[in-house]
A and B are shown apart, each in its own frame.
Chain A
Amino acid sequence: LCLEPSLYTVKAVFILDNDGNRLLSKYYDPELYPSMKEQKNFELNVFNKTHKADNEIAFLEGMTIVYKSSIDLFFYVVGSAQENELMLMAVLNCLFESVSQMLRKNVEKRTLLDNMDGVFLVVDEIIDGGVILESDPQQVIEKVNYRVRDCVEEQISLCNELTVQLSDVTKVLQVSSF
């Protein structure tokens, strides 16, 4: 079985949280898991088989899967069984490094979701329709040119909101106790 020379290396890429929920996922081969249900089943199967041990590489459902985790996030890159595993690793490393640099090393769910637009752009710069577009994280960061959102400001507003809500609750409680 010879590998057809092609640039289409990556079959799918996805980022899951620590419950196996999809945060971002892209499938590049229309024949692979065409329906959303099949995709989510596959992701869950992969998650169940990989989240316990940080083993870097697995073989499931006839696919080679390379992965990496960080705190409450799991990054996966999927290729065909015949694909060069090191090419897939290059993609995974580039994805992880780029996200890590962009988020200033805070690779965890909350920060990632706060900068979801940046993450979408990073993935878009690394893989285009299954073809590896860029594999150097430095280049990716330059191209995306994304400024991390300042979370502090948002957290303050969130605190304010919570305080308002709390005082509402207190009022209600006071009223009902009468």
Chain B
Amino acid sequence: MIKKFDKKDEESGSGSNPFQHLEKSAVLQEARIFNETPINPRRCLHILTKIIYLLNQGEHFGTTEATEAFFAMTRLFQSNDQTLRRMCYLTIKEMANISEDVIIVTSSLTKDMTGKEDVYRGPAIRALCRITDTTMLQAIERYMKQAIVDKVPSVSSSALVSSLHMVKMSFDVVKRWVNEAQEAASSDNIMVQYHALGLLYHLRKNDRLAVTKMLNKFTKSGLKSPFAYCMMIRIASKLLEETEGGHDSPLFDFIESCLRNKHEMVVYEAASAIVHMPKCTARELAPAVSVLQLFCSSPKAALRYAAVRTLNKVAMKHPSAVTACNLDLENLITDSNRSIATLAITTLLKTGSESSVDRLMKQISSFVSEISDEFKVVVVQAISALCQKYPRKHSVMMNFLSNMLRDDGGFEYKRAIVDCIISIIEENPESKETGLAHLCEFIEDCEHTVLATKILHMLGKEGPRTPTPSKYIRFIFNRVVLESEAVRAAAVSALAKFGAQNDDLLPSVLVLMQRCMMDSDDEVRDRATFYMNVLQQKQKALNAAYIFNGLSVSVPGLEKSLHQYTLEPSEKPFDMKTVPLATAPITEQKTEIAPMATSKLPEKLAPARQDIYQEQLAAIPEFKGLGPLFKSSEPVQLTEAETEYVVRCIKHTFANHMIFQFDCTNTLNDQLLQRVQVQMEPSESYEVLHYVPAPSLHYSQPNSCYSLVRLPEDDPTAVSCTFSCTMKYLVRDCDPNTGEPDDDGYDDEYVLEDLEVTVADHIQKVLKPNFGAAWEEIGDEFEKEETFALATVRTLDEAVNNIISFLGMQPCERSDKVPENKNSHVLFLAGVFRGGHDVLVRARLALADGVTMQVTVRSTDENVVDVILASVG
């Protein structure tokens, strides 16, 4: 601890803190006077204070020295000095985990807790319960029961709170005190009421009926403690949530009535509870919002903060409900507490009109440097949401964001800004150039490798397609000269994209590449050499395949396939098409804004779901030799919810086969199912080859059975099929309590819903960052085109979503977003068909009465083109 004399202490005079230079050994030495007779209360008190102070500063006490001091301290119980005795209790609590044999003081404490001195009784109970374990609890049970119903409030409260602490340790013993707690709840003292309610709830919380009854009783009797009211509101809203009670429930009425309580604490708690309820309508919110509105003008900062923070939450879901408070919120944007001002502004940004945006942004930029990073992220998120709402405001936002980017700030903050700018660029083509310029400026002086590589990737993707791509080259090449390996490598990749797309830049890019080939790092050199050679070929198809669109296989899958290949050397060259594809990245970004969620969990790369399935299936001997797993579908439910058996199916597609994995759960605790399999009757010429039954299905332990189906070979266009499914099994009844099954069983079956296989099951999504290049790469050898009329579809959005989900392909170039007020749109889809054939779809949509769609399909295989067109028709 701080024992060194540093300069500052000398200046301020060490006398300002008498405990500043305490030495543990010296204090323990002093503690010997505890053994002197007669006891000197004042000196002993001073030494005990020093010991507690040291413990509080984090000083480490060894077991032996702590035990020694503790035993010496027990002598002080002979003194009748009140403060000294109280400090002894504190020492006992502080040392309970450090010293040995603390139970030595049990009898002294029991004496104090049942004695005549009321001042001692409460604290003695709390100290005693701190050192009591399960075995000793029985011995003091009688005293505890008495103490809970004691007429002295401090004794009763102490006993109740201590019981609550002990619930975790010995629930069964404390549960026996429920009657005493019940009696204490009707005490006149407000704190006793509160503590009794808390203990009762903890004892009964698993019994919903008992909690409901208790709540009913207390809402009628009317407790006086505001704390108890807050607790009841929380219990009531939890009950409402669990029972999914409507807003006509008496529980809701109770919470609403608390909005009229005379304590602000209770009113706020009730308002907050209503706001947090799921499925709350604007009308039900109104009273809660209006009390929060009143709090906005409170002189207490904490109340203003609480109110505006809650209103901010409301604004996320129901911005219109908060509009009424706009005036009050306006007054808060100049609040001296910056947290309140920030929350007020971000709320206004959500509720205000487009016209107020400029003014608010100006206001917020005046103090953004003063607030903590947590709130800065809140601001950035609010801006991000705003850009989606008012795309026309992007120039104001962009300006603001670039200023923030220049300020100091941590990684989280910078990342939020960069993400926000990137999303604006992607949403608004007009903002692309300014956005890229800001990002270029940022990477000139960026200490975060992750952000620099991300931005370089962005520049490579978007830069070549701007009117003046040459201006980005300098920024990118600067990185090659100045940065760490990872950034240099990313810069080389970005450069290559410029060279591939802009013929007039190609010579200069080649010169730069040549320089990069002299880099000190392997990765950078390798990339440069590779791109150099590709670029020199000057072939569009090569550029598309190796520079723009890269590999679409899953990296762990590739690793495994290559490993396998080296284990079994063969004459044939390694075939890239046997490698499973990477499951398409989820492009849908959650824009949900949680202002207070400061989750800093590192984003872990979970093993891809498909890789897990691949391993599981490979472990089953019947499924050998099917080749790599091509695609696994999302689970399909084949039963209604809450039936006897729950079955869902996952469709695994291979090159020429499909495996159906049925995950079954038995929800009957009096049955054991054995030899469970799902019999399938196909409607088309699909052939069921093999069933792998699940040996047994115990109550609530899911297990899987499988069916192997061969896809029709003679007719490659037959991609869709309906299977009628029946689950067959042997039932053995069993004792619901022990799970012991009867000896005999009987066969039974259970009809499941039909299972559909569609064209989407045969296609894997693949993202082509540069669709145009990929389109040229495949060429028009097998191009086909057809026009369809979608009569039932009313909007372009709906049409786009239908096509995407029907074909199960990846929308590229953000073409899944239809700009507003347009009546024509082009959708680009990319995927790989089972067997490894690339397939691209361009769908031109026009909106008239219905939607007319002209579909152009290109693929490396003619059959695939036919399959797609046939299935769309």
A residues near B, CB below 8 A? 1-7, 17, 19, 21-22, 24-26, 36, 39-40, 49, 53, 55-62, 66, 81, 84-90, 109-110, 113-114, 116-118, 120-121, 124, 128-129, 131-135, 143-147, 158
Residues of chain B within 8 A of A88, CB atoms compared: 302
Does the CB pair B230–A120 fall under 8 Å? no
> Are A120 and B49 interface neighbours, CB within 8 A?
yes
- List the B side residues contacting A26 at CB < 8 Å: 56
| Contacts A7-B195, A121-B83, A133-B191; A81 near B596 (Cβ below 8 A) | yes
Which B residues lie within 8 Å of A24 (CB)? 56
Is there contact, CB below 8 Å, between B83 and A129? Answer: no
Main secondary structure of the interface of B (DSSP, over half): helix
Inside 8 A of B305's CB, which chain A residues have their CB?
A: 56-57, 85
Q: Residues of B contacting A90 with CB < 8 Å?
A: 227, 265
State the majority secondary structure of interface residues on A.
Answer: mixed
For chain B, residues 93 to 123, give those with C-beta under 8 angstroms from any C-beta of chain A.
119, 122-123
- Given A3-B234, A120-B52, A135-B227; A114-B268 close (CB under 8 Å): no
Give the distance to chain A from B200, nearest Cβ to Cβ, in Å: 11
Say yes or no for B90: interface residue by CB 8 A criterion.
yes
Question: Are the CB atoms of B268 and A84 closer together than 8 Å?
Answer: yes
In the complex the two chains form, is B337's CB within 8 Å of A121's CB?
no
Task: Output the nearest chain A residue to B48 by Cβ-Cβ distance.
Answer: A117
- Please give, as numbers and ranges, the residues of chain B lying within 8 Å of A132 by CB-CB distance: 191, 194, 227
Whether, in the assembled complex, B16 has its beta carbon less than 8 Å from a beta carbon of chain A, the answer is yes
Q: Roughly how many angstroms separate A146 CA and B49 CA in the complex, as a whole number?
A: 14
Residues on A with beta carbons closer than 8 Å to the beta carbon of B126: 128
Counting CB contacts under 8 A, is B485 at the interface? no
Closest residue of chain B to A115, judged by CB?
Answer: B49
Q: Is B57 a contact of A86 with CB atoms below 8 Å? A: no
Establish whether residues B268 and A6, one from each chain, have CB atoms under 8 Å apart when the complex forms. Answer: no
> Which B residues are CB-close (under 8 A) to A49?
372
- A142 smallest CB distance to B (angstroms): 9
Decide if A84 touches B119 in the complex (CB within 8 Å). Answer: no
Measured in the bound complex, the distance between the Cα atoms of B370 and A53 in whole Å is 11
Report Cα–Cα, A66/B265, bound state, in Å. 15
By the criterion CB–CB under 8 Å, are B19 and A6 in contact? no
Question: Are A86's CB and B201's CB within 8 A?
Answer: no
B238 touches A2 (CB 8 A): yes
Quote the shortest CB–CB distance from A175 to chain B (angstroms): 24
Using CB atoms, name the residue of chain B closest to A39: B58
CB pairs A–B below 8 angstroms (25 shown): A1-B276, A4-B238, A5-B235, A7-B195, A7-B231, A19-B8, A25-B56, A55-B338, A56-B302, A57-B302, A57-B305, A58-B372, A59-B374, A61-B598, A84-B265, A84-B268, A86-B268, A86-B302, A113-B18, A113-B19, A117-B52, A120-B90, A133-B161, A134-B157, A145-B82
The residue on A at minimum CB distance from B91 is: A120
Known: A86-B265, A129-B161. A145 touches B119 (CB 8 A): yes
Report the bound CA distance from A146 to B202 in whole Å: 34
The residues of A that contact B338 with a CB separation of less than 8 Å are 53, 55
Note all chain B residues with C-beta closer than 8 A to A1: 276
Tell yes or no: B336 within 8 A of A by CB.
yes
Contact status of A55 and B18, CB under 8 A, knowing A129-B165, A143-B119: no
How far apart are the CA atoms of A132 and B265 in the complex, in Å? 14
Q: What CA separation (Å) do A170 and B164 show in the bound complex?
A: 63
Decide if B269 touches A84 in the complex (CB within 8 Å).
yes
Residues 161-183 of B, flagged 1 when their CB comes within 8 A of A and 0 if not, give 11011000000000000000000
Of A59, A90, A110, A147, the most chain B CB neighbours within 10 A belong to: A59
A57 close to B301 (CB less than 8 A): yes
Once the chains bind, are B306 and A121 in contact (CB under 8 Å)? no
Instruction: Determine the residue in chain B with the shortest Cβ distance to A49.
Output: B372
CA of A121 to CA of B88 in the docked complex: distance in angstroms? 11
| Contacting residues, chain A, for B205 (C-beta < 8 A) | 5
Q: Does B339 contact A (CB under 8 A)?
A: yes
Bound-state CA distance A95–B528 (Å) is 67
Minimum CB–CB distance from A146 to chain B (whole Å) comes to 6
Task: State how many angstroms separate the Cβ of A13 from the closest Cβ of chain B.
Answer: 12
Give Cα A90–Cα B266 distance, bound, in whole angstroms: 12
- In the complex, chain B residues whose CB is within 8 Å of the CB of A133: 157-158, 161, 191
Q: Does B86 contact A (CB under 8 A)?
A: yes
Q: How far is the CA of A26 from the CA of B57 in the complex (A)?
A: 10
Q: Quick one: closest A residue to B277, CB to CB?
A: A2
The 3 closest A-B pairs by CB, nearest first: A36-B58, A7-B198, A56-B301
Q: How many Å lie between the Cα of A135 and that of B234 in the bound state? A: 20
Contact B161 A59 (CB under 8 A): no
State whether B598 touches A62 (Cβ < 8 A).
yes
Please state if A5 and B201 are interface contacts (CB–CB under 8 Å).
yes
Identify which of A22, A55, A62, A87 contacts B596 (C-beta below 8 A): A62
Beyond known contacts A53-B336, A109-B16, A145-B82: 13 more, CB 8 A cutoff: A7-B164, A40-B58, A57-B301, A57-B305, A59-B339, A61-B598, A85-B306, A87-B230, A89-B300, A90-B265, A114-B18, A143-B154, A145-B119
Nearest neighbor of B59 in chain A, beta-carbon distance: A36
Whole-angstrom CA separation of A145 from B195 in the bound complex: 23
Q: Residue on A with the closest CB to B122?
A: A143
- A14 to chain B: closest residue by CB: B56
Contact of B336 among A21, A55, A124 (CB under 8 A): A55
State in angstroms the CA–CA spacing of A114 and B241 once bound together. 51
Q: By the criterion CB–CB under 8 Å, are A131 and B164 in contact?
A: yes
Q: How far is the CB of B871 from chain A (nearest CB, A)?
A: 44
C-alpha gap A110/B227 in the complex (Å): 34
User: Is B53 interfacial (CB 8 A cutoff)?
Assistant: yes
State whether B272 touches A84 (Cβ < 8 A): yes
A143 contact set on B, CB distance < 8 A: 119, 122, 154
Assembly CA distance A73 to B230 (angstroms): 31
CB-CB under 8 A from A53, the residues of chain B are 336-338
Give the complex CA separation of A49 and B596 in angstroms: 17
A43 CB, min distance to chain B CBs, angstroms: 11
Residue pair A59, B375 in contact (C-beta under 8 Å): yes
Query: Which one, B48, B57, B264, B300, contacts A22 given CB within 8 A?
Result: B57
Residues of A within 8 Å of B15, CB to CB, are: 158
- For the complex, give the distance between the alpha carbons of A2 and B234 in Å: 8
Q: Is B17 a contact of A113 with CB atoms below 8 Å? A: yes
Bound: A113/B336 CA distance, A: 32
Binary interface encoding of chain B residues 229-241 relative to chain A, with 1 for a CB under 8 A from any of its CBs, else 0: 0110011011001
Q: Which residue of A lies closest to B118 (CB)?
A: A143
Residues of B within 8 A of A6 (CB): 198, 202
Contacts of A110 in B (CB 8 A): 16
Residue in A5, A36, A116 whose beta carbon sits within 8 Å of that of B19 in the complex: A116
B residues within 8 A CB of A25?
A: 56
A53 to B372 Cα, complex, angstroms: 13
A55 engages B337 (CB within 8 Å): yes
Is B87 an interface residue, CB under 8 A from the partner?
Answer: yes
CB distance from B376 to the nearest CB of A (A): 12
Q: Which A-chain residue is minimally distant from B313 (CB atoms)?
A: A1
Cα distance, A152 to B125, chains bound together (Å): 36
**Residue in chain A with minimal CB distance to B306:** A85
Residues on A with C-beta less than 8 A from B276 are 1-2
Does B361 lie at the interface of the complex (its beta carbon under 8 Å from any beta carbon of A)?
no
CA distance A132 to B126 in the complex (A): 14
Contacts of B154 in A (CB 8 A): 134, 143
Verify A58–B18 contact, CB threshold 8 A: no
Query: Is B56 in contact with A7, judged by CB distance below 8 angstroms?
Result: no
